[in-house]
Amino acid sequence: MEKIQIICNPNAGRQIIQKNVPKLVELLKDGKKSVDLTYTKGKFHAEDLGYESCSKGYDLIITVGGDGTINEVVNGMMKSHTKSKLAIYPAGSVNDFGNYLKIPKNIEDFSKIIMKNNSMKVDVGASDQRYFLNVAAAGLLPEVAHKVSSEAKTVLGKFAYYIEGIKEFSKIMFKPINIKLYNDGCEEEKEILFFILANSPSVGGFKYVAPEAKVNDGHLDLLIVEHGDFKDVASIFVKAFTGSHAKHPALKYLQVQKFTIHSDEAIDLDLDGELAGRLPASFRVENQALDILIP
């Protein structure tokens, strides 16, 4: 009998997709599967559930939520020695990894993915303290994202990022961060606006932020936006809609396995859209460390 644990964040996104979950349980119970459903109660609960589910020998863990819920479950799974497979049912305000994998929101179509049990091994990013599945970032962009109230995000979905972003931009735009970068044995000191370290191409609702990124290549794609003027940043944003920004002169684009960043200022670190401490931080990639169901 295959054992499935569904970990559902009832508060993620607009709380609409979650209404499908009892039906998902029914669709999956076919006599050969046992399905348990647990709703998360608050911060880090999904992480504990992810850890426990692996320890208890569940074959598959399905997350229902956004990138924050996935991040917690992945942290729990990575910290456990026994590995279950992961499936993502996107129900958050931003679902970058689920969108990248083209996971359907229709419940019947999603249940077919579980029945077929097709999987691929994907890389997982690691910082000093925590794992991330999709992105680590610090600087201007994450600061904007964290200033968006969760009420605004519930009503407006990902557009809230951009609306709130415009307001915040005028206040904090172009405040550069002095950083020291260590990559591949080289040390460099520079002023940047922000960096993004991406596993998949899709970040913050933009499909092609890291157009060269592959989730199973043993590398993370590092984008550093250097301190430039408004024209530069605006043109990077516009080009990012289509993925044609990678060669912009104000942008440094590298593929890395390890990367360390220091700053003298207290700069917040964002992992998969959640606040996760402050710089300095070191990052590495764990190659194909997680088995994930795909369409």
Ligand X SMILES: Nc1ncnc2c1ncn2[C@@H]1O[C@H](COP(=O)(O)OP(=O)(O)OP(=O)(O)O)[C@@H](O)[C@H]1O
Catalytic residues: 274
Q: Closest by alpha carbon to 81, among 42, 44, 104, 52?
A: 52
- DSSP secondary structure, 191-251, as one string: EEEEEEEESSS-BTTBTTSSTT--TTSS-EEEEEEES--HHHHHHHHHHHTTTTTTT-TTE
Among 51, 62, 68, 103, binds ligand X (CB under 6 A): 68
Among 4, 6, 7, 12, binds ligand X (CB under 6 A): 12
Look up residue 194 and give its two tokens. Answer: 């922000």
Cβ 149 to ligand X, closest distance in Å? 9
Terminal-to-terminal C-alpha distance of the chain: 22
200 with 213: CB under 8 angstroms? Answer: yes
State the nearest-atom distance from the C-beta of 196 to ligand X, in Å: 17
84 binds ligand X (CB under 6 A): no
Tell me how far apart the alpha carbons of residues 63 and 71 are, in angstroms, rounded to a whole number: 10
Site string (243-282) toward ligand X, x via CB under 6 A: ------------------------------xx--------
Q: Examine residue 75 and tell whether it contacts ligand X (CB under 6 A).
A: no
Residue 150 binding ligand X, by CB under 6 A: yes
Q: Measured between alpha carbons, how far is 9 from 265 in angstroms, rounded to an integer?
A: 34
Nearer to ligand X, 10 or 22 (CB): 10
Regarding 228 and contact with ligand X (CB under 6 A), the answer is no
Of 63-71, 74-82, 124-132, 239-247: span binding ligand X (CB under 6 A): 63-71
Which spans of this chain sit near ligand X (rule: CB under 6 A)? 9-13, 40-43, 45-46, 65-69, 72, 92-94, 150, 153, 273-274
